[in-house]
């Protein structure tokens, strides 16, 4: 909602604790100092966009749908309202506030219904949805007109249950600030929450000067009392909203904490499993390392043993080579002697054979002759 004070518009529809507290402080200051100014012109109840035209008795330009309270909403607006909610409108009660898709609209609707109809803050009629949209758009709100019917019910001038204890305070507040026109001052007289004999008492007071002065003092005290009561009610509601916001923030923080905690616990569980797997792998690798070290020692022992055997075999080979050299030398000498003996023997045999052959030929020759 927006309150216009000599021009600027201050928004308090964001639902935050800070803006609500600032708004309350401004209202209290202005009520005590007499500086608040509210424009007498504004929207008519339940007629968003065409308020002045309908108030003047003119016909709106678009088709309109009557609501349960007698107000009207354009068909285009009724269709557009459906996109703001998760579920469709109930033919009996209207839209559920909790079905708002936008959290800002949901908070603003709850805050406005705490003023418009605190006895029922669960459902919204079509004109109230439009009223919320106008409040969010920054349109100035003439609360004296909006709450006129409830104010008349409080004054027991109309039939109906008293539905809003802020109405007399707001009307008297407008009168004390001088924001009402002459016709509005007649239409919105000073009101109280309980005045069953109001008209008869006013006639009696008008004929007695002492009663007139007492009545003026009483009215001043009543105005102060209504103002303080309104301030107290607003402060209580704002405090309740702040507490609810704190509870919501704590709930959201608790939810995030639990979510983060569950995530951390899952990560810790995963890390524990991973650490267990790594520990088992470390034990296995340690055992394998020990086995490798034992095998390495055995291989080193075997290598040293083989190396000693190789040294022995090399020494034996050297001895064998020396013996082979000596044997080859002796064998060469024996072979040489044997060859010489064989050559001498063959020479002797050849010489003897030659001599025999010559003798044989001479013998044959002698025989032939």
Highest mean pLDDT among 6-20, 102-116, 142-156, 225-239: 225-239
> How many domains does the chain contain in total?
1
What is the predicted pLDDT for the residue at 24? Answer: 37
In a domain, 230, yes or no: yes
What is the predicted pLDDT for the residue at 356? Answer: 87
What is the predicted pLDDT for the residue at 32? Answer: 39
Buried b (16+ CB within 10 A) or exposed e, 137-166: eebbbbbbbbbbbbbbbbbbeeeeebbbeb
Provide the pLDDT confidence category of residue 258 given band limits of 50, 70 and 90: very high
Residue 12 φ/ψ, nearest 5 degrees: -130, 25
pLDDT digits (tens, 9 = 90+) for 121-130: 788 888 788 8
In a domain, 333, yes or no: no
Of 259, 78, 262, 233, nearest in space to 166 by CA: 233
Contact 92, 79 (CB under 8 A): no
Contact 3, 141 (CB under 8 A): yes
In a domain, 191, yes or no: yes
What is the predicted pLDDT for the residue at 147? Answer: 61
Highest mean pLDDT among 7-16, 75-84, 182-191, 253-262: 253-262
Using CA atoms, how far apart are residues 241 and 244, in angstroms rounded to an integer? 5
* Predicted confidence (pLDDT) at residue 292 exceeds the cutoff of 90: yes
In a domain, 225, yes or no: yes
Contact 111, 145 (CB under 8 A): no
In a domain, 314, yes or no: no
What is the predicted pLDDT for the residue at 48? Answer: 35
What is the predicted pLDDT for the residue at 8? Answer: 33
Using CA atoms, how far apart are residues 96 and 129, in angstroms rounded to an integer? 10
In a domain, 350, yes or no: no
Rounded to an integer, the average pLDDT of 157-165 is 52
pLDDT digits (tens, 9 = 90+) for 208-247: 567 667 767 877 887 888 888 888 889 899 999 999 999 9
Rounded to an integer, the average pLDDT of 148-167 is 54
Contact 225, 215 (CB under 8 A): no
CA-CA-CA-CA torsion sign (94, 98, 100, 105)? positive
In a domain, 289, yes or no: no
In a domain, 29, yes or no: yes
Contact 53, 45 (CB under 8 A): no
What is the predicted pLDDT for the residue at 5? Answer: 33
Global pTM exceeds 0.75 = no
Structural domain including 228 reads: 2-265
Provide the pLDDT confidence category of residue 138 given band limits of 50, 70 and 90: confident
* HSE-up (13 A, CA, CB side) for residue 46: 19
């Amino acid at each position: 909602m927006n309150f216009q004070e000599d021009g600027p518009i201050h928004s308090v529809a964001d639902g935050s604790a800070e803006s609500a507290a600032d708004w309350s402080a401004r209202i209290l200051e202005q009520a005590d100092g007499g500086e608040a100014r509210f424009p007498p012109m504004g929207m008519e109840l339940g007629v968003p966009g065409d308020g002045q035209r309908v108030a003047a008795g003119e016909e709106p330009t678009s088709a309109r749908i009557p609501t349960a309270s007698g107000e009207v909403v354009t068909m285009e607006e009724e269709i557009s309202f459906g996109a703001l909610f998760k579920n469709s409108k109930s033919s009996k009660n209207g839209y559920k506030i909790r079905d708002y898709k936008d959290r800002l609209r949901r908070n603003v609707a709850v805050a406005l219904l705490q003023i418009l109809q605190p006895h029922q803050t669960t459902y919204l009629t079509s004109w109230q949805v439009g009223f919320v949209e106008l409040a969010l758009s920054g349109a100035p709100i003439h609360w004296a007109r909006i709450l006129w019917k409830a104010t008349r019910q409080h004054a027991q001038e109309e039939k109906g249950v008293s539905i809003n204890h802020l109405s007399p305070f707001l009307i008297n507040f407008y009168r004390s600030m001088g924001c009402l026109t002459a016709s509005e001052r007649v239409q919105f007289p000073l009101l109280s929450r309980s005045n069953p004999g109001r008209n008869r008492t006013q006639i009696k007071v008008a004929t007695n000067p002492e009663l007139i002065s007492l009545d003026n003092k009483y009215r001043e005290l009543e105005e102060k009392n209504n103002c303080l009561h309104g301030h107290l009610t607003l402060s209580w509601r704002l405090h309740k909203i702040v507490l609810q916001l704190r509870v919501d923030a704590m709930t959201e923080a608790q939810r995030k904490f639990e979510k983060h905690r569950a995530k951390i616990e899952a990560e810790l569980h995963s890390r524990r499993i991973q650490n267990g797997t790594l520990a088992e792998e470390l034990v296995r690798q340690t055992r394998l390392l020990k086995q490798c070290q034992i095998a390495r020692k055995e291989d080193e022992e075997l290598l040293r043993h083989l190396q000693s055997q190789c040294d022995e075999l090399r020494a034996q080979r050297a001895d064998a080579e020396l013996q082979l050299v000596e044997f080859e030398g002796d064998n060469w000498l024996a072979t040489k002697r044997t060859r010489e003996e064989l050559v001498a023997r063959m020479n002797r045999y050849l010489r003897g054979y030659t001599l025999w052959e010559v003798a044989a030929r001479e013998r044959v020759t002698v025989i032939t002759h």
